[in-house]
Amino acid sequence: MKLTRILILLFSVSTLVGTAQQKGYEIVNDSVVFTFNLKDYKKYTNDQDGRRISAEDLDVNNVYLTGEFNDWSRQGWKMKRVSATKFQLVKSIKELNDHIDWEFKYLANQSFWAEPDTNFENITLSEQSDFWNSVYNLKLHTVIPNPNGNATFTLEGHENATVVILSGSFNKWNEEALRMHKNGDTWQLTLDLPPGQYTYKFIIDGEWQHDVKNPIKITNEYGGFNSVKEITKPTFFELYDHIQAQRVYVSGTFNNWNPEATPMTKNGDHWEACIDLTGGKHQYKFIVDGNWIIDPDNEIKEIDRYGNLNSVIMVQ
């Protein structure tokens, strides 16, 4: 059997000169502050006929935020004017954590698309681009550095590196979004991640490298290694109605069902214990003076392979 294949490879090489910046939004605590600054945009595209006009030729009266997160709605997300040149809209990050990356754009006067240029670091080529004309959308990354976060990534050495990127399963292996900061002879970045297991690597001046200081690693599909980081969350267990008991323990999949590994302490009218748990499902039971019982205040239950009925908690 003869098989003929024709492969068409398309290479795109782009050169950026100067220093671009993340613009168009800022993540503050649990909110995304979208900001449209008139000074950032030099060109607008008419939605009706596709013609471009200069910013000087447009008097912007209102601005709408449109993007993948609102199905590019042109009416729903109106921005509030906060100064002569700025419009803002604040959204909870919970509304946007469905995806890691979102494309968006600002629409002025409900008819003119504000065109970001290469002064924006967070741009991505739009579907509207063709061979002769580059059109950009703005890009929002919901995973961003957070100095108060729960996951610090450190790379020692590489003092002469120019750019070090942190990339992993937490940001869909984005190769640009998370630049690490040089701090003496180490590179560092802190994120705030939901509990769970994540794989990651460093990109040191374009070269991928796993975290050699982290012994926990898995083999990836390319035959190399991905480093593994486990993020846990303090999880509280409480048992009421057994205040006369002498000893109470909590036992579950998280401590291999060890009956005495996690004693609970009496606190007023209940027993309690706090355990750092990784993300996902955990089965557990309480042991009250030697008797195994399910959590009476938790309606989520499962039967295990041995026929035991256990309580279930989801950590996320």
Per CB under 8 A, 78 contacts another protein = no
The Cα–Cα gap between 278 and 21 comes to: 35
The Cα–Cα gap between 282 and 298 comes to: 13
User: Would you call 74 helix, strand, or coil by DSSP?
Assistant: coil
Per CB under 8 A, 302 contacts another protein = yes
Decide whether 85 or 298 has the Cβ nearer to another protein. 298
Q: Which of 136, 140, 36, 48 is nearest to 79 (CA)?
A: 36
- What are phi and psi for residue 188, nearest 5 degrees? -145, 150
The Cα–Cα gap between 188 and 166 comes to: 9
- What are phi and psi for residue 199, nearest 5 degrees? -110, 150
Q: Which of 200, 89, 205 is nearest to 143 (CA)?
A: 200
User: Would you call 59 helix, strand, or coil by DSSP?
Assistant: coil
- Least distance in angstroms from the C-beta of 68 to another protein: 9
Per CB under 8 A, 84 contacts another protein = no
Q: Do 278 and 235 touch, CB atoms closer than 8 A?
A: no
Q: Which amino acid is at 159?
A: E
Q: CA dist 219 to 166, 191, 315, Å?
A: 18, 24, 26
One of 96, 134, 149, 183 touching another protein (CB under 8 A): 134
One of 212, 216, 274, 303 touching another protein (CB under 8 A): 303
Q: Do 81 and 106 touch, CB atoms closer than 8 A?
A: no
- Least distance in angstroms from the C-beta of 200 to another protein: 12
Mask of contacts with another protein, 137-166, x by CB under 8 A?
------------------------------
Decide whether 9 or 84 has the Cβ nearer to another protein. 9
Q: CA dist 279 to 66, 199, 282, 298, 313, Å?
A: 33, 14, 9, 18, 10
- Which residues inside 86-105 make contact with another protein, applying CB under 8 A? 99
Per CB under 8 A, 173 contacts another protein = yes
Per CB under 8 A, 48 contacts another protein = no
- Least distance in angstroms from the C-beta of 253 to another protein: 9
- Least distance in angstroms from the C-beta of 183 to another protein: 28
One of 95, 280, 291, 308 touching another protein (CB under 8 A): 280
Q: Do 73 and 66 touch, CB atoms closer than 8 A?
A: yes
Interacting stretch for another protein, rule CB under 8 A, among 52-60, 66-74, 84-92, 225-233? 66-74
Per CB under 8 A, 301 contacts another protein = yes
- Which residues inside 197-226 make contact with another protein, applying CB under 8 A? 221
One of 11, 48, 244, 256 touching another protein (CB under 8 A): 11
Torsion angle, alpha carbons of 138, 90, 112, 22, to 10: -30
One of 49, 56, 57, 127 touching another protein (CB under 8 A): 127
Per CB under 8 A, 304 contacts another protein = yes
- What are phi and psi for residue 176, nearest 5 degrees? -135, -30
One of 56, 57, 185, 299 touching another protein (CB under 8 A): 299
Decide whether 19 or 160 has the Cβ nearer to another protein. 19
One of 97, 152, 297, 308 touching another protein (CB under 8 A): 297
